[in-house]
Structure 1
Amino acid sequence: MRTTSGRPAARLLTRLGLVTIAIGLAAACTSNAPADTGAPAADTTERAAGANDEPGETVVIGFSGPQADHGWLAAINSAALAEAEEYSDIELRVAEGTNDPSAQISHIETFINEGVDAIVLLPTDGAALTRIAIEAMEAGIPVVNVDREFSSEFAARTTILGDNYGMGISAGTHACSLIEENGMGDAVIAEIAGMDSLPLTQDRSQGFADALEACGQDVDHRVAAEFTVESGEATASNLLQAVPEIDIIWNHDDDQGVGVKAAFDNANRDEFLFIGGAGSANAMRWIREGEMEATVLYPPTQAADGIRLARLLAQGKGMSDLVQVEVPRRIVLDAPVVTAENVEQYLPLGFES
């Protein structure tokens, strides 16, 4: 793909932010005397919450997610398991991943009957899992809802989400900067979306359109795939056959991007700047190799963050990096742009497609 890796300033991140929310900060120093260095004394004010990473009372957390039939979902599950291993005071009970809402409901019923201390749930279908999540909450078990929202505020103590609309904003804002940088004027912009029936796809597209409108651009050609390699290749092939020249392409999902990239290579088309979405290791390697312009992160750490939050809730702790001592009701993670300038920073978070 044509890249602009030689241009330093305009390729910087268009949206800055951390991938995850830092949960445990070190406790304030308890010394009553300043160090003999001439530096100001450490803040010894007692905090309402602190030292959250130090072992506490052992808690049992139930985790249920969908079947890992997609690189991002596999990364969600593995990151959650790895995070639980970091804490000696977490006993994690993991339900078998499934795409069947009825099976997942059964898993949550088991967690309720076992009396776990908290549940982290990435539902196969938020609406379908709402009732059982409410039952868990009514049983006194805090539920941490991950990625796909329930249809009732009563179904979760805390919800942690990626920012789908923000992904579109980030991709569109970065596209605008590339258009200005390269003097494209009225650029020909194509969008390869995921499944159009999903709200997350609609949010990503809306954010992209809104960001482009801010710089006087719009999407000239929009097609939709199905978040799979095969659909990505077929959809991208049809797009390239229909449109002889394109300036920028944004593909919503780096898993389907494997097929999209194959279609580009098969058609021997590289006149455009290629932006991806989600943050796969493949995409980050392509960026490093100059075959892709950027990708927009959709953090695969959401369930891992959910494990941390569930631990705090079950132990009756707050967040030591907030003045408000309670765990927030809702956390939306950032959607930063990964480019050649910062790809090494984000590569460890890349998931294999």
Structure 2
Amino acid sequence: MTDSTPGPYGTQADAPATRATRRNMLFGAAAVSAGALLSACTSNQRGDASAGATQQQAGGADDRPGKKVTIGFAGPQADHGWLNAINQNARNRAKRYRDVTLDITEGSNDTAQQIGQIETLINKRVDVLVVLPADGKALTQVGLKAMRAGIPVVNLDRVFASPQAYRCWIGGDNYGMGLNAGRYIGEQLKDKPDAKVVELAGIDTLELTRERTRGFDDALKNYPNIRKVGRQAAEFTVESGQAKMAGLLQAHPSFDALWNHDDDQGVGAERAIDQAGRDGFLMVGGAGSRRVMETIKAGNSVLKATVLYPPTMSASAVDLARALAQGRGLPGTAELEIPASVTLYSAVVTKDNVDDYLPTGFN
């Protein structure tokens, strides 16, 4: 498997142009809708802006009726909880607007089939396209085709190999996800001598997994009392999570914290923990499923937090697409145009703030 092979979510490093230095610009609290917080920037590189994204119910986009627009939406097959939430968030957001018609494809993990679905939308002459590619590199040409046809493209999360293939990119921050997981664990263990942590990663051949690990390791460097003593790479599935977590538990009779990259594979990890009868450590999840948030709220598990990779990004992508088609800028910004790049913030959800984020949890 190569870096261009799609994972369940996350931006893959398909293009050197996407590896720009971040200039994080956060506006407002993380619990506010991403539509109100999209930061303006001046280049088409991924890392030029970031914004909080949690509650799409909170509003923030320009609700004033404008010209009627048709948004074509094409994503991969919804075979993972996060991807299903991506589709549902887009549908729900489009229903909010009387001036928006959403033409959504069935989705496919087969690149040729997804290209065909996007070409159908191009031939229908939709006003704007939102595309979460199954493989960013493989779908770059169809993005270029849409742009040449005068149909602006909002590239959602998995980035195309050329910035000319999209007008705007919006997606998550995998490095920031790992960084915030590491910071949370570090603060919980900062007073414990010789603290030990383990990591249950995702698919190691994916750049998104390596970015999450890099952020996690960088955060732990600030806590000299903490050592990462074990790491296993799973495959974003329940079965792999259970098998790999069982291996970590067997190899490490004691540790103080676990970071799991993905809440879906975390279902399996929790099964392995229960079967082994283990506790005495804290667990941090990744992505933000509703099940995990409810477990955190109940407070009766080793699972104490999860780091968001917000599927509400698709709702914000609909906001961006609507603004593009109607020639609008975004509320809260001085610019007349929408930004070229928006990076969402990976908030840490704990028992203290879980009620704020529960509405965004995916099944």
The answer to whether TM tops 0.5 is yes
- Superposed CA RMSD: 1.7
Mapped contact 2:35–2:61 kept (Cα < 8 A) = no
Question: In structure 2, what is the equivalent of residue 278 of structure 1?
Answer: 287
Question: In structure 2, what is the equivalent of residue 192 of structure 1?
Answer: 200
- 1:186 offset after TM fit, Å? 2.0
- In structure 2, give the amino acid aligned to 1:227: F
| Closer/same/farther in 2, CA of residues 250 and 83 from structure 1, 3 Å limit | same
- 1:156 offset after TM fit, Å? 0.6
5+ residue gaps, structure 2? 1-28, 39-59
| Closer/same/farther in 2, CA of residues 337 and 24 from structure 1, 3 Å limit | closer
Do structure 1's residue 214 and structure 2's residue 222 form an aligned pair?
yes
Deviations 1:279-324 (A, max 9, x none): 0111111111211111001101111111110000001111121012
| Closer/same/farther in 2, CA of residues 269 and 24 from structure 1, 3 Å limit | closer
Among 134, 138, 152, the alignment partner of 1:124 is 134
SS in 1 for 2:83: helix
After TM superposition, what 4+ stretches of structure 1 lie above 6 angstroms from structure 2?
A: none
Among 75, 85, 94, the alignment partner of 1:75 is 85
- 1:17 offset after TM fit, Å? 2.8
Question: In structure 1, what is the equivalent of residue 322 of structure 2?
Answer: 311
Question: In structure 1, what is the equivalent of residue 104 of structure 2?
Answer: 94
Question: In structure 2, what is the equivalent of residue 344 of structure 1?
Answer: 355
The total of aligned residue pairs comes to: 312
State the percentage of identical aligned residues: 52
5+ residue gaps, structure 1? 1-15, 26-49
| Closer/same/farther in 2, CA of residues 186 and 19 from structure 1, 3 Å limit | farther
Give the TM-score, by structure 2 length.
0.83
Among 243, 255, 260, the alignment partner of 1:246 is 255
SS in 2 for 1:323: coil
Question: In structure 1, what is the equivalent of residue 275 of structure 2?
Answer: 266
- In structure 1, give the amino acid aligned to 2:137: A
Mapped contact 1:209–1:218 kept (Cα < 8 A) = no
- In structure 2, give the amino acid aligned to 1:189: V
What CA distance in whole angstroms lies between the structure 2 residues aligned with 1:107 and 1:305? 22
Mapped contact 2:118–2:142 kept (Cα < 8 A) = yes
Mapped contact 1:120–1:146 kept (Cα < 8 A) = yes
Deviations 1:317-342 (A, max 9, x none): 11121012210000001101000100
Deviations 1:97-151 (A, max 9, x none): 1111111100111111111100000000000010100110111101001110111
Deviations 1:233-272 (A, max 9, x none): 0110111011100110000000110111111101000111
SS in 2 for 1:222: strand
What CA distance in whole angstroms lies between the structure 1 residues aligned with 2:227 and 2:151? 47
Question: In structure 1, what is the equivalent of residue 182 of structure 2?
Answer: 172
- 1:24 offset after TM fit, Å? 9.3
The structure that has the greater radius of gyration is: 1
Single out whichever of 50-59 and 258-267 deviates more from structure 2. Answer: 50-59
Deviations 1:7-45 (A, max 9, x none): xxxxxxxxx6347423499xxxxxxxxxxxxxxxxxxxx
Give the TM-score, by structure 1 length.
0.86
After superposition, where does 1:135-174 map in structure 2 within 5 Å? 135-174=145-184
What CA distance in whole angstroms lies between the structure 1 residues aligned with 2:216 and 2:85? 25
